[in-house]
Structure 1
Amino acid sequence: MSKEIRPFVLAIDESELSDLHRRLDQARWPEREPVSGWEQGVPTDRLRGLIDHWRHTYDWRRCEAMLNGFGQFKTLIDGIDIHFLHIRSPHEGALPLLLTHGWPGSVIEFHKVIGPLSNPTAYGGDAADAFHLVVPSLPGYGFSGKPSTSGWGVERIAKAWAELMRRLGYARYVAQGGDWGSAVTAQLGVQAPQELAGVHFNMLTVVPEDLGGDLNEEERVAIAKARHFAEVESAYARLQATRPQTIGYALADSPVAQAAWIYEKFRTWSDCDGEAENIFSRDEMLDNIMLYWLTNSGASSARLYWESMGSFRPMKIDLPLGYTQFPREILSPPRKWADRLFRNIIHWNAVDKGGHFAAFEQPVLFVGEMRNCFRSLR
């Protein structure tokens, strides 16, 4: 099997953008919702505003140039083409950092932190905090290949990530993730390839089987948040975990459906005071949505839920580990629970702003957490 690292340059054919515009122009809309706000999902006026911006104002070529400017590559691992950004720091001794996105995210989630992490002195930081960055697209997401057979769960992805870092020549590196990136990074921590020096998470599943006796306030809040997600917010996950092909037809055929499917999560899971546009620009959200639409990856991305929904479970990790609690994250694990699973917690911190899309929402805080967490491992 070839281990070649191939440069990848994005150049979406104009016909694909014209087809998108045609579909947006011809969208069939449902009647307006009979309730106020977001009770039944994305309100009609909110989505119409986003779609109008997509059709008449949004510029894909700007996003395309940004991604090409970072440096994009592909390599074949275990039969799948893996797409990734690779940004080498100009600073000698930079620590390699593997960043893994989740759903409904993409490599776009990290675009605001790439500069400060890789070239800190250009942003008022210290060269001693510099990172080389590797930012892959999960299989079935973005410009990575789509698995044609089952079996591509987070365990297999973690092995592919370890192989990717070896191919890039990194003898020592650290890894970070949230959402599916958390599950993949946790598996990396469990597999503990010899090159992996430590891990960081902005989402963790650590609820122990036995909660013991009386619960403190932090534990009660954690249980309430987990219950709310299970009972209210996880319908999308159950659908993607059980019928990814069925929802995939709508997401493949309708850009409005694909946009609504993701836009709702940007609003619900971010620290945005009820309006996604308070924290993300429409262009930023559409950049991310375009990586699903242009690659027709609504179904292939959903299949990761079918493969690995059970992987969001407590697991023991012995490597140095860090965690940052962003206040609007869907889970909030108490340190007390984490101490039962992790033998070597080197960083545990709560910040005052941010939600599920940590690097996308609060890039300054995220960069600071990466520097503080991994400083002792340099």
Structure 2
Amino acid sequence: MTTTEIRPFRIEIPQAELDDLHSRLANARWPEQLPGDGWSRGVPVEYLRELAEYWRDGFDWRAQEARLNTFPQFVTTIDGIDVHFLHARSGNPDALPLLLTHGWPNSVVQFVELIPQLTERGFDVVVPHVPGFGFSGKPPETGFGVAQVGRMWAELMRRLGYERYGVQGGDLGVYVSQETAKADPDRVVGVHLDSGVGLPTEDLLPELNEEERGLYDQMQQWASLGVDHHMLLRHYPQTMAFGWNDSPIGLLAWLLQKFHEFTFAVPVPDDAIDRDLLLTNISLYWFTQSAGSSSWLMYNSVKFVWPSGQKAAPTGLYSGPPGIRRLAELQNDISQWSTDNPGSGHFIAMEKPEALAADIATFFDSLA
């Protein structure tokens, strides 16, 4: 085996691991509901208990596993770390390849609805698991960062034989997509994002006009709704990982808390995202034991910072507000700033995949 070999991969979770998950769910020790309305104290016991029962008795992992396996999958080793990725070809001989990077706490499951939308529009699609997530290897030491992932993605696309390609992402995917463009400026033709652009840093606050201040206040209001997971994972990722790795109820509660904050326009996450899709993502975290290792971005940081931006390639944004275009253009070459797209959640690929695919296609068609 050469160090650049690309090996076929197929998801096959042993039945013993499924049985163990079901046993742990059946034998969970439930806390009492604390005083307070709705989600004011965290995930409501009644809601989580009903979802846990569905995870045990109604959710069909094997069906979801088969669905994931409809996408050709591979593993290759880059910088000593195994990178697992989906590779869906469109059949279009002139296809523009698109590399999609998922966010946290997500996985390649983020894009299972989006991929067919893109291949039908004539794109080849590559979706890797970021190291530390899913079936990719885990960073072996501290100091691993998004710039290294960007260089790994450039090498992945080189191994696949792509001379030019686009990148897309939201959440963590914004950071990685921008770093990929910086690492591979001669081949990345465009960067399409769905969050994290045009957000004011503290030094820019005095320069905001009245309209921009209103948008900033919206951002602050949203940020105040949830727990600062960056702070928590910066200090105690190992401590939290004991619970996530040993208790599926603990993992379910943690990830549902975050998805609740990321789907702030609806009462519960599965009002915005199909619950089978949510549970597929959570199951993947459980089976790969990656809840702790997936938090490397936070624990390797000193403080939270917005993506730094890049001008190596044009940038398109799915939906402008609450970002501020004037600020986005300080660090990015903005060529598309959509303001009328549907959906207001954080993981738009899971909520509105058709609309996102249309916006992606419009952006990259404009660069042709």
Per-residue CA distance 1:174-207 (angstroms, 9 max, x = gap): 0011010111112223334321111011112442
Q: CA RMSD in A?
A: 1.8
The runs of at least 4 consecutive aligned structure 1 residues that moved more than 6 Å come to none
Question: Could you tell me which of 344, 348, 351 is aligned with 1:358?
Answer: 348
Offset at 1:251?
A: 0.4
User: Do 2:197 and 2:328's aligned partners in 1 also have CA atoms closer than 8 Å?
Assistant: no
Cα distance between partner residues in 2 of 1:326 and 1:205: 8
CA 1:45/1:135 → structure 2, altered by over 3 Å: closer, same or farther?
Answer: same
Distance, in Å, in 1 between the alignment partners of 2:361 and 2:310 is 24
Structure 2 CA distance for partners of 1:110 and 1:278, relative to 1, 3 Å: same
Q: Could you tell me which amino acid in structure 1 is paired with residue 166 of structure 2?
A: V
- Counterpart in the other structure of 1:323: 317
2: CA distance between counterparts of 1:307 and 1:317? Answer: 25
Shift in Å at residue 243 of structure 1?
1.4
Q: Secondary structure at the match of 1:97?
A: strand
TM-superposed deviation, 1:282: 1.9
Aligned pairs for 1:225-374 (under 5 A) are: 225-228=218-221, 230-270=223-263, 272-308=265-301, 310=304, 312-325=306-319, 332-342=322-332, 344-350=333-339, 351-374=341-364
CA contact (8 A) 1:192 1:319 kept: no
Could you give the per-residue CA deviations for residues 282-306 of structure 1, whole angstroms, max 9, x where no partner exists?
Answer: 2111001011000011110112211
> What is the one-letter code of the residue matched to 1:306?
Y
1:96 and 1:131 in contact (8 A); partners too: yes
Residues 1-378 of structure 1 aligned to structure 2 (within 5 Å) = 2-120=3-121, 130-206=122-198, 207-208=200-201, 209-213=203-207, 215-217=209-211, 219-228=212-221, 230-270=223-263, 272-308=265-301, 310=304, 312-325=306-319, 332-342=322-332, 344-350=333-339, 351-378=341-368
Q: CA deviation at 1:279?
A: 2.0
Shift of the 251–43 alpha-carbon distance from structure 1 to 2, 3 Å rule, reads same
Label 1:198 to 1:271 Cα distance change in 2 as closer, same or farther (>3 A). Answer: same
- Conserved? CA contact 2:154–2:184, under 8 Å: no
Amino acid at match of 1:262: L
Alignment CA distance shift 1:39-1:271 (3 Å): closer
Code of the residue aligned with 1:364 in structure 2: it is E
Q: Which amino acid aligns with 1:258?
A: L
- Tell me how far 1:159 sits from its aligned partner: 0.6
Structure 1, residues 23-66: CA drift from partner, whole Å, max 9, x if none? 11111111112111011111111101110000111111111111
Does the 8 Å CA contact 1:154/1:311 hold for their aligned counterparts? Answer: no
> Cα distance, 1:310 vs. partner?
4.5
For residue 321 of structure 1, what is the amino acid of its counterpart? T
Counterpart contact for 2:5–2:76, Cα < 8 Å: yes
The one-letter amino acid paired with 1:260 is A
For residues 185-234 of structure 1, what are the alpha-carbon distances to aligned partners after superposition, in whole Å with 9 as ceiling and x for unaligned?
122233343211110111124425334545232x1233224434554424
Larger mean Cα displacement after TM superposition, 207-216 or 79-88: 207-216
Residues of 2 paired with 1:292 and 1:69: CA distance? 20
| CA distance in structure 2 between the aligned counterparts of 1:104 and 1:135, rounded to whole angstroms | 16
Q: Deviations over 1:137-163 (max 9, x none)?
A: 110101111112112211111110110
Say if 1:324 and 1:304 are closer, same or farther in 2 by CA, change over 3 A.
same
Equivalent-residue separation in structure 2 for 1:231 and 1:270 (angstroms): 14
Confirm or deny: 8 A CA contact 2:225 2:261 kept in the other structure. Answer: no
**Secondary structure at the residue paired with 1:294?**
helix
Question: Alpha-carbon deviations, 1:246-284, whole Å to 9, x = none?
Answer: 111110000011111111222221265212222222211
Letter in 2 for 1:322: G
The alignment's TM-score, normalised by the length of structure 2, stands at 0.94
- Distance (whole Å) between structure 2 residues aligned to residue 242 and residue 229 of structure 1: 23
TM-superposed CA distance for 1:89, in Å, is 0.9
Distance 2:56 2:260 in 1: 21
2: CA distance, partners of 1:180 / 1:72: 22
Question: For 1:303, what is the secondary structure of its paired residue?
Answer: helix
- The Cα shift of 1:326 comes to 7.2
Distance 2:283 2:265 in 1: 22
> Kindly tell me: are residues 288 and 358 of structure 1, through their superposed partners in 2, closer, same or farther at Cα, counting changes over 3 Å?
same
Q: Does the C-alpha gap of structure 1 residues 19 and 345 become closer, same or farther in structure 2, counting only changes over 3 Å? A: same
CA distance in 2, matches of 1:35, 1:319: 49
Q: Which runs of 5+ in 2 are unaligned?
A: none
| Residue matched to 1:125 | none
Q: Distance in 2 between matches of 1:38 and 1:103?
A: 21
Distance 1:349 1:49 in 2: 38
Aligned residues: 363
